[in-house]
Amino acid sequence: MALQQSDYCAWNIWASFHDQPALPFRYQPLGEMLTLGIDEATISGLGLQLAGPLAHLTRRLVYLYRLPTLNHQIAVAFNWITQPLLSLISE
């Protein structure tokens, strides 16, 4: 919800300085995504329901997509790839 609100907030702040009308916030429910342990998740919303490893992968891809910059996306993806490898090496 915060990402949806941020667009309206930014517009309304700009509008207040430029004598433009404020926009009323309209929440659009997009569903829910939950991690349920290692490599498990559940997703529901927009007519889609997934569970298990496929939901886990989908959730991660959506999470990466919603990050604000390419640098953030690369850093998080790199961490996701390297952490399991480092865990294997340290065992």
Q: What pLDDT, on the 0 to 100 scale, is given for residue 87?
A: 85
Domain that holds residue 10: 1-90
Question: In the chain, how many domains are there?
Answer: 1
Contacts of 50 (CB under 8 A, 6+ apart): 41, 42, 43, 44, 58
Contacts of 58 (CB under 8 A, 6+ apart): 33, 41, 43, 50
Q: What pLDDT, on the 0 to 100 scale, is given for residue 13?
A: 97
- For the four alpha carbons of 42, 61, 57 and 47, in that order, the dihedral sign comes to positive
List, run by run, the mean pLDDT of 10-residue segments along the chain (91 residues): 87 96 91 91 92 94 93 96 88 76
DSSP string, 38-71: TT-EEEEETTEEEESHHHHHHHHHHHHHHSSSHH
